[in-house]
Amino acid sequence: MAGGRPSTGEDQLRTTLGAIAGRWTSILLITALTVAVVAAVAAVVPRQYTASTDLLLLQVDEAGSAGSPGERAIASYAAVLEGRTLIGSTEGATDVEVRATPREGADVIRLDVRADTAREAAAAATALGNRFAAWLDLEQPEAGPQVSSQVISPAGAPDSPSRPDWPTWLAIATVVGLVVGSVRAVFRGVPPGVVDTSAQAKEILGAPVLASVATDPDVRTRPLLSDLEPHHPRHEALRILRTNLQFLDVDQAQQVITVTSALPGDGKTTTTCALAQAIAETGRSVVVVEGDLRRPRLAEMFGIERTVGLTTALVGRIPIDEAVQASGTPGLDVLTSGALPPNPTEILQTTAMARLVDGLRDRYDVVLIDAPPLLPVSDAALLAALSDGAIVLVRHGRTRADELELAAERLRAVDATVLGTVLTMTPRREARRYGYGPEGSTSSRQRGTRRAAR
């Protein structure tokens, strides 16, 4: 069996890139939607037009020689051009936006005037240029150097609007769409450290993936297969599991099987009961045994009495045949917990328990033990050791690789055989990616299995 993979930066990068590559269609869709929304907004915002003109500033001193007014003076003239005083006193320029930018390395100011129409913008730019020239004439002291302004490129009416700025808006929308789509893809993926692919589960447990059971929103109200129609996805998944178990059976009989997982709430009880029903559907006799003597749930699942069961039989008060109860599904019996003992771990290690399992082996075609989780207590490992093998569930998006490692170690420590793993609560849309992951998409074996399962 391969060892564990520590979570490295490289792993995380691979996971992130994998999530993006795996969801590129939704990323493109989000980008297209963002661009469409921005384009729709751009189509309705009022258009504006910008007309531009260049003003050359020339300084002539008292001796009549021409020179530059200097950087500071040019910056001040730009401020004058943008100031409300000049704009307010220029006919046709009162409702426009003005930007005056000194051109670097030249005595030139670029004047950009934005208005609601192209003609208005051009007229206002021309008027403002003229008004500025007049202002220079009027406002300068008579003595000292004189600065004058000349239009070196007159303002023409622009052909196309400057607002909305389509190229910029669309470029920003594309970038925002790509970023939002990628972040969503990464965060919708499994959190770092969590088992992400069937190949990883297989590698850690050293056993094949037997099935993938998708999240079923109805599971609380309809946990049993008998509650579901035959073509319900969960029913089909359980049939695949049943068939794959039969494939394992070809070499070596797997009659007593413990179902467990690393932690509570991974779907063990739900899966065990449904699997038992799926096996009973084929006409074989099955018994489900309550292996969780701390928080038993089997009786509740089948709606039967809990007070008579495993512990009642173990302490010898009644024979096995009287301890098991009919489940309501033909061919399927249930051995509930019986009274809860104060020392479950010790009870499971007794020879009486081993004898009880042998007794069930003699009476039923298949014995399924619904075990507690492996990590919190040693009960599940003990039950797996009494069985022909264990099925270890891996819950999508929750079972961590390091916890699964530890669970596998617990089973190895008692020489238990891991028959395989079942992925539970996989996202329905991702069931294929997750369940039949990078080992080679939907393998021919699994496709064959699907057919065989019907």
Ligand X SMILES: Nc1ncnc2c1ncn2[C@@H]1O[C@H](COP(=O)(O)OP(=O)(O)OP(=O)(O)O)[C@@H](O)[C@H]1O
Which stretches of the chain bind Mg ion, using CB under 5 A?
Answer: 268-269
Q: Give least dist CB 192 to ligand X, A.
A: 23
Of the candidates 212, 243, 424, 446, which one interacts with ligand X according to CB under 6 A?
Answer: 424
373 binds, among ligand X, Mg ion, none (CB under 5 to 8 A by kind): ligand X
The contacts found for 17-23 with CB under 8 angstroms, 24 or more apart, are: 18/189, 18/196, 19/185, 19/186, 19/188, 19/189, 20/182, 20/185, 20/186, 22/185, 22/189, 22/433, 23/181, 23/184, 23/185, 23/188
112 binds, among ligand X, Mg ion, none (CB under 5 to 8 A by kind): none
Q: Give least dist CB 7 to Mg ion, A.
A: 28
The contacts found for 427-436 with CB under 8 angstroms, 24 or more apart, are: 427/214, 427/215, 427/396, 427/397, 428/214, 428/215, 428/233, 430/396, 431/212, 431/214, 433/22, 434/197, 434/198, 434/212, 434/396, 435/198, 435/209, 435/211, 435/212, 436/198, 436/212
144 binds, among ligand X, Mg ion, none (CB under 5 to 8 A by kind): none
419 binds, among Mg ion, ligand X, none (CB under 5 to 8 A by kind): none
Q: Which residues contact 452 (CB under 8 A, 6 or more apart)?
A: 243
Binding to ligand X, residues 204-263 (CB under 6 A) = 213, 215-216, 219-220, 261
Binding to ligand X, residues 346-385 (CB under 6 A) = 372-373
Size, binding site for ligand X by CB under 6 A: 20
Residue nearest to Mg ion (CB): 269
Binding to ligand X, residues 265-284 (CB under 6 A) = 265-270
Q: Give least dist CB 395 to Mg ion, A.
A: 12
Listed residue (211, 210, 257) closest to 234, CA to CA = 211
265 binds, among ligand X, Mg ion, none (CB under 5 to 8 A by kind): ligand X
Beta carbon nearer to ligand X, 198 or 269: 269
Listed residue (322, 327, 400, 393) closest to 356, CA to CA = 322
The yes or no reply on residue 131 touching ligand X (CB under 6 A) is: no
424 binds, among Mg ion, ligand X, none (CB under 5 to 8 A by kind): ligand X
Beta carbon nearer to Mg ion, 23 or 268: 268
Structure letter (DSSP) for residue 225: G
Beta carbon nearer to ligand X, 114 or 268: 268
Q: Which residues contact 79 (CB under 8 A, 6 or more apart)?
A: 100
On whether the CB atoms of residues 368 and 374 are closer than 8 A, the answer is no
Beta carbon nearer to Mg ion, 124 or 371: 371
Q: Give least dist CB 41 to ligand X, A.
A: 41
Beta carbon nearer to Mg ion, 268 or 306: 268
Run of H or E including 417: none
Cis omega (within 30 of 0) for bond into 167 = no
On whether the CB atoms of residues 240 and 204 are closer than 8 A, the answer is no
Distance CA 16, CA 396 (A): 17
Largest Cα–Cα distance of the chain, in whole Å? 128
Q: Which stretch binds ligand X (CB under 6 A): 9-17, 163-171, 292-300, 341-349?
A: 292-300
Q: Give least dist CB 321 to ligand X, A.
A: 27
Q: Give least dist CB 220 to ligand X, A.
A: 5
Beta carbon nearer to Mg ion, 69 or 267: 267
Distance CA 233, CA 214 (A): 8
Beta carbon nearer to ligand X, 293 or 320: 293
Beta carbon nearer to ligand X, 197 or 212: 212
- Note the residues at the interface with ligand X (CB under 6 A): 213, 215-216, 219-220, 261, 264-270, 292, 295, 297, 372-373, 424-425
